[in-house]
Copies of this chain bind each other. A is one copy, B any other.
Amino acid sequence: MAAWGERLAGVRGVLLDISGVLYDGGEGGGAAIAGSVEAVARLKRSRLKVRFCTNESQKSRGDLVRLLRRLGFDISEGEVTAPAPATCLILKERGLRPHLLVHDGVRSEFGQIDTSNPNCVVIADAGEDFSYQNMNKAFQVLMELEKPILFSLGKGRYYKETSGLMLDVGPYMKALEYACGIEAEVVGKPSPEFFKSALREMGVDASQLLGETQGSPGWPWSQGWVWGLKQAGGLWQLPSCTSTES
């Protein structure tokens, strides 16, 4: 415990991943990972600021939070940073109308977005909706654009469900990149912009934390400030978390 106390000495807040960290998805919604409900509760009782930062793109934030609360977590929608709302902001800022290749569960997040006459494509972890027909349609939309724009909500390779490993959005992003000869814009982890927006929402100014002389724009995400604490059976050893030092 002393070791943890020392390691957390300069830490002002904790960004927690959700899928594979707080719970494993699967039939009936999935199951909480042992120790994670207590860990979140204990973090919230501490002096640390806590925020949840997920690449979950199969569910709306509302559905995700309802599921997590059912599993026993103390969490509210306003505490979650997720790629779908972040993508909607970008689409609005740039006047883009997406063709959506997303799971039905997350479609409601795009309810206020004009999807007529699309001039870009947005893909998310669509699961079973990654059919050949749907992939081909997204491909055709991109090929008809003078300058194809593809947004990918995360670029994860795969994730674990209780039934086994499942392909995430990343492989399908790579498929469309290769087919069209383009590079996708990733919204979600590990994009520094995404982490920074989570920090802003947490009330911690990223620019204060990073310092402009510290290195590349990606720093400190690539330099160890963002570190994972692997679950190893200990009470305070969080399954995995992303922390920011002050």
Contacts from A to B (Cβ < 8 Å): 126-133, 135-136, 139-140, 143, 157-158, 164-168, 170-172, 174-181
Contact = CB atoms under 8 A, between A and B. Distances in A.
15 contacts: A127-B132, A128-B132, A129-B132, A130-B131, A131-B132, A139-B171, A143-B158, A143-B165, A157-B178, A157-B179, A157-B181, A167-B179, A170-B178, A171-B174, A171-B179
A86 to B, nearest CB: 23
A158 B132 contact: no
Contacts of A170: 178-179
Nearest to A180: B157
Contact of A140 (B164, B171, B180): B164
Which 10 residue pairs of A and B lie closest in terms of their CB atoms, listed nearest first?
Answer: A171-B175, A174-B178, A171-B179, A130-B132, A175-B175, A174-B174, A128-B132, A157-B179, A171-B178, A136-B167
A30 to B, nearest CB: 17
A143 B131 CA distance: 21
A145 to B, nearest CB: 13
Contacts of A172: 175
A132 B128 CA distance: 5
A208 to B, nearest CB: 36
A164 B143 CA distance: 11
A146 to B, nearest CB: 16
Contact of A139 (B131, B167, B176, B177): B167
Nearest to A135: B167
Nearest to A172: B175
B130 A135 contact: yes
Given A131-B131, A158-B179, A179-B158, A136 B174 contact: no
A135 B127 CA distance: 11
A129 B129 CA distance: 13
A138 to B, nearest CB: 9
Contacts of A158: 139, 143, 179
B128 A167 contact: no
Contacts of A135: 130, 167, 171
